Amino acid sequence: MSPAPTGRGKTIACAAWLEILDELGIGAFLVDPQRRIEAINATAQAIIEAGAEDVLGRDCRDVFLGVPCLAACPFAAAGGPAEGPRGVEARGAGGESAFLVTRVAVPVFDARRRPAGCLTVLQDLRPIAGLVQRIHHEERSLKHILDSLEVGILTVDRAGIVTFFNTAAEKISEFNREDVLGRPCGDLFRGEASRIGELLRETITRGETRAEGEGCLITASGVRVPIRMRHLPLRDEKGAVVGGLATFSDLTLERRLDEALQGRARFHDLVGKSPAMQRIFENVRVVSRTEATVLIEGATGTGKDALARVIHEMSPRRTRPFVKVNCAAIPETLLESEMFGYVKGAFTGAVEDRPGRFQAADGGTLFLDEIGDLPLALQAKLLRVIEEKTFFRLGSPRTTRVDVRILAASNQSLARLVARRKFREDLYYRLNVFRIELPPLRERPEDLPLLIRHILRRLCASRGIPVPEVSENALRQLLNYGYPGNIRELENILEHALILCPEGVLRRRHLPEYLQAMKPSRPPQTAAGGAAENAERRRIAAALRRCGGNKARAARLLGMDRTTLWRKLKRFDLLP
């Protein structure tokens, strides 16, 4: 430890700390209020490859070239919290060799609580950086292999700072590599995904490989992606642990295949963070556990079928049959026999007994889709089955008893059909025990980015292809469209685009022609909210300018997620 050039008490006190940090292998140095280096320990000298005689008395900005300390210097906000940790690349006193460090800076005060200096702690990242550099330079073929794998790979140093993030990790997590490197791993993986960071820390501490199995990752846009994780320590040439590595695989395709084989649906298949959808999710969680009849109303393509399947899958009847009847697709003359079945000889061609849909659903759930199209004559028989749980098969003198739960759906308002005398009032009240109305897509625009990403993942998983990025122009068109066909139309649009998208970026030219020709419209601004919206528009525009147009950084600066920022950029016509 080199002596300080001054004899002040605070330097002597901090010198003791420098020696302690030296014993721990942590670099540190002390500067005075003029930013002149007063003391520096041996570890810091080794990190910057310069002796004490080369740096003592010099301005820290001259010694640590390229370290961006001015914007958050402790002297600029004395008494504030410590800065960092931050991963930075800088040059030492000679200005020739580059070094990668994690830096934490904190002000030092005198007896009167006045700023008297600054203590900066440095951690050398070169051991882990060396491993990554070998991938970048000496083993380029290995780097290409890592970037071509559909397995996410990230590495961290002993402090948990991300030092490597491959292409698959970007696609799975939707985080950009440039925004991830140099940040703590805990900033990226929160909620359910926080286990990744916790296991990495345990792996580094114990020096043991950990296989966690399956978990869930929350992407940058808020989508839940099932993943399989594995963690292992990174060691240098001497065998010392210098960091950790995590791999995570996207299990979306595997889960889809499993669901297809089992004929089951998952609750997270219903995507939406809008208040309307959140209320529906809460209602579904409650009503699914009961035996109540549920009436689902909503425009064509809003997902009534999917919602009915989710209710069944979350109910106590999940292991029993789920039978769907499309009342609009079966000819009126065949509806009764399809619903209730028949016995041999009931009519010409009835050569054997045949059970109907009610018997097929015995013990499970019967989903009556488009029930508003059911003929009035059959509505009376349906009412009796719902009330008495018995019915007559065509040609049979004996009743058949069944135990089924009824779910019904309609793209028309049954109340309006009752008013027009096209639907029985008594049947309507028997069905309307618990009503759920699915909103059209145009009334939940905040769900569009989530739905686009969710549908793209599902479509690409079924084809075994990687999920493409969506260009800003294409996303702008998708977010500005009204979707009269709702989610079903959005699925068709994205499937059309994937067919025409051979490269890894989905562009505007890949969308259907009618969507390409649509001119983006800016929503009208109300007089009452005009001032507030103008203020918010100026604030967002200023943040974008400050971040050089980088939307991810602007979102962090504004304290909002990227999907919210994107929606506001579209709303305020700030997209390029």
Tens digits of per-residue pLDDT, 32-83? 888 888 888 888 887 777 788 888 888 887 776 544 453 345 555 444 444 4
Cα dihedral sign for 457, 463, 466, 472? negative
Question: Do the domain assignments include residue 525?
Answer: no
Which residue among 124, 156, 180 closes a domain?
Answer: 124
Would the pLDDT of 24 be above 70?
no
Question: Do the domain assignments include residue 527?
Answer: no
What pLDDT, on a 0 to 100 scale, did the predictor assign at position 103?
A: 66
| Pair type for strands 27-31 and 115-124 | antiparallel
Would the pLDDT of 483 be above 80?
yes
What pLDDT, on a 0 to 100 scale, did the predictor assign at position 494?
A: 94
* Cβ neighbours of 51 (radius 10 Å): 14
- Write the burial class of residue 200 (CB in 10 Å: 0-12 exposed, 13-18 middle, 19+ buried): buried
Tokens of 499: 């067919």
Q: How confident is the model at residue 211 (pLDDT cuts 50, 70, 90)?
A: low
Residue 525 or residue 450, greater confidence: 450
What pLDDT, on a 0 to 100 scale, did the predictor assign at position 425?
A: 93
The predicted model gives 453-460 an average pLDDT of 86
Q: How confident is the model at residue 546 (pLDDT cuts 50, 70, 90)?
A: confident
348-406 per-position pLDDT tens digit: 666 677 888 888 899 999 999 999 988 888 888 888 888 888 888 777 778 888 899 99
Same domain, 446 and 422: no
Q: Which amino acid is at 373?
A: D
Same domain, 150 and 245: yes
- Write the burial class of residue 191 (CB in 10 Å: 0-12 exposed, 13-18 middle, 19+ buried): exposed
Q: What percent of the chain has pLDDT over 70?
A: 73
If you count DSSP H runs as helices and E runs as strands, how many of each does the chain have, helices first?
25, 21
Domain coverage including residue 198: 128-250
Same domain, 181 and 311: no
385, 425 contact by CB (below 8 A): no
Rg (CA), the chain: 32
The secondary element (H helix, E strand) that includes residue 366 is: strand 365-369
| Average pLDDT in the chain | 76
The predicted model gives 95-109 an average pLDDT of 62
Looking up residue 565, the CATH number of its domain turns out to be 1.10.10
What pLDDT, on a 0 to 100 scale, did the predictor assign at position 533?
A: 64
- Write the burial class of residue 478 (CB in 10 Å: 0-12 exposed, 13-18 middle, 19+ buried): buried
Tokens of 408: 């019904």
Q: How confident is the model at residue 146 (pLDDT cuts 50, 70, 90)?
A: low
The secondary element (H helix, E strand) that includes residue 117 is: strand 115-124
Question: Do the domain assignments include residue 256?
Answer: no
The 3-state DSSP class for residue 124 equals: strand
279-308 per-position pLDDT tens digit: 898 899 899 999 999 999 999 888 899 899
Same domain, 94 and 134: no
Question: Do the domain assignments include residue 190?
Answer: yes
317-334 per-position pLDDT tens digit: 988 999 999 888 888 778
Looking up tokens 């079966």 gives 330
| Poorest-pLDDT segment among 43-47, 95-99, 344-348, 562-566 | 95-99
Same domain, 417 and 458: no
Q: What is the dihedral of CA 57, 61, 66, 69, to 10 degrees?
A: 130
Angle between helices 551-558 and 562-571 (to 10 degrees): 100
Residue 347 or residue 11, greater confidence: 347
Domains identified in the chain, total number? 5
Same domain, 291 and 392: yes
Looking up residue 506, the CATH number of its domain turns out to be 1.10.8.60
Tokens of 345: 């000889």
Same domain, 506 and 565: no
Same domain, 178 and 322: no
What pLDDT, on a 0 to 100 scale, did the predictor assign at position 287?
A: 94
Residues 6+ apart with CB under 8 A from 228: 213, 214, 215, 248, 249, 251
189, 181 contact by CB (below 8 A): no
Which residue among 439, 468, 495 closes a domain?
Answer: 439
Q: How far apart are CA 171 and CA 154, in angstroms?
A: 13
Residue 537 or residue 408, greater confidence: 408
Max distance between CA atoms of the chain, in angstroms, equals 113
- In degrees and rounded to multiples of 5, residue 296 shows phi and psi of -110, 120
| Poorest-pLDDT segment among 20-34, 184-198, 306-320, 525-539 | 525-539
Report which of 216, 218, 235, 236 is spatially closest to residue 226, judged by C-alpha positions. Answer: 216
Residue 287 or residue 228, greater confidence: 287
Question: Do the domain assignments include residue 231?
Answer: yes
Q: What is the 3-state secondary structure (H, E, C) of 396-462?
A: CCCEEECCCEEEEEECCCHHHHHHCCCCCHHHHHHHCCEEEEECCHHHCHHHHHHHHHHHHHHHHHH
Same domain, 330 and 230: no
Same domain, 99 and 143: no
Residue 12 or residue 367, greater confidence: 367
Question: Do the domain assignments include residue 241?
Answer: yes
E strands present in 167-304: 210-218, 224-235, 241-250, 294-298
Report which of 157, 86, 97, 164 is spatially closest to residue 125, judged by C-alpha positions. Answer: 157
Integer CA distances (angstroms), 413 to 23, 437, 487, 504, in order: 76, 10, 19, 43
Angle between helices 472-480 and 562-571 (to 10 degrees): 70
Q: What percent of the chain has pLDDT over 90?
A: 16
Report which of 158, 116, 119 is spatially closest to residue 8, judged by C-alpha positions. Answer: 116
Looking up residue 374, the CATH number of its domain turns out to be 3.40.50.300
Which residue among 124, 151, 168 closes a domain?
Answer: 124
Question: Do the domain assignments include residue 2?
Answer: no
Question: Do the domain assignments include residue 576?
Answer: no
Same domain, 114 and 53: yes
Looking up residue 207, the CATH number of its domain turns out to be 3.30.450.20
369, 325 contact by CB (below 8 A): yes
Q: Is the peptide bond before 502 cis (omega within 30 degrees of 0)?
A: no
What pLDDT, on a 0 to 100 scale, did the predictor assign at position 233?
A: 85
125, 133 contact by CB (below 8 A): no
What pLDDT, on a 0 to 100 scale, did the predictor assign at position 400?
A: 85
What pLDDT, on a 0 to 100 scale, did the predictor assign at position 91?
A: 45
Same domain, 24 and 58: yes
Q: How far apart are CA 334 and CA 357, in angstroms?
A: 12
- Residue environment code for 528-537, b if the CB has 16+ CB neighbours within 10 A, otherwise e: eeeeeeeeeb
The 3-state DSSP class for residue 5 equals: coil
What pLDDT, on a 0 to 100 scale, did the predictor assign at position 290?
A: 93
